[in-house]
A and B are shown apart, each in its own frame.
Chain A
Amino acid sequence: ETGVTQSPTHLIKTRGQQVTLRCSSQSGHNTVSWYQQALGQGPQFIFQYYREEENGRGNFPPRFSGLQFPNYSSELNVNALELDDSALYLCASSLGAGRSYEQYFGPGTRLTVT
């Protein structure tokens, strides 16, 4: 079975632009969570999608939005990029949305905003 994949690996954008990051969940997983990890910090929860619906959101502004597709892959969209959005963006998939489900992380997308 294939693991969680993310694209692109690296991305450089200019302040004010918009970006879309993609995540393919592990086979059989219906839940995807997105995290932002600034340099030297632990990951921060952005939101979770379960069966194409948002199922929980962290303390991030509305310009961070997401989508989950029928095949359970997911996108993270960030509008009006700010310098502080520079970070590693991680997605994780799991078999379900409950707390007992182990999360499987992708390799991450490193976003640099200049």
Chain B
Amino acid sequence: KNEVEQSPQNLTAQEGEFITINCSYSVGISALHWLQQHPGGGIVSLFMLSSGKKKHGRLIATINIQEKHSSLHITASHPRDSAVYICAAFPPNTGNQFYFGTGTSLTVIP
């Protein structure tokens, strides 16, 4: 079983829709990251969270430490948001190792 699980694996949305991607983890963490990966491989770090909520433009990330769950929300989705979104947990005492989810592939249709 993977330490980090994401859902859904694939998501197709119409432009303008509100999107939610979920991440559950089974390990204690000191930080959780949300990453965006475009076709071709380049990864961009979107958020780093250890508690609460962060917002950047149309993106919002929340985390509930007690429930070991995080969500990434995209408001007013746009075709340029089409990418793979990956959550990565950073547990303490693991030699600086991240545990990554397998990603959610998002396609936003115009």
Contacts and interface: CB of A to CB of B under 8 A. Distances in A.
Interface in B12-33: 30-31, 33
A21 interface: no
Chain B interface residue count: which class?
Answer: 20 to 34
B45 A57 contact: no
A33 B97 CA distance: 9
B95 A55 contact: yes
Interface of A: 33, 35, 37, 40-45, 48, 55-58, 88, 90, 92, 97, 99-100, 102-108, 110
Contacts of A102: 33, 45, 48
A100 B33 contact: no
Contact of B95 (A41, A44, A57, A107): A57
Given A90-B41, A90-B43, A45 B97 contact: yes
Interface in B29-72: 30-31, 33, 35, 40-45, 48, 50
Contacts of A97: 96
B92 interface: yes
A10 B70 CA distance: 34
A64 to B, nearest CB: 14
Contacts of A110: 41
Contacts of B31: 99-100
A42 B97 CA distance: 13
B96 A33 contact: yes
21 contacts: A33-B96, A41-B102, A42-B4, A43-B98, A44-B100, A45-B98, A48-B96, A48-B97, A55-B95, A55-B96, A92-B43, A97-B96, A99-B31, A99-B90, A99-B92, A100-B30, A103-B33, A103-B45, A105-B43, A107-B40, A110-B41
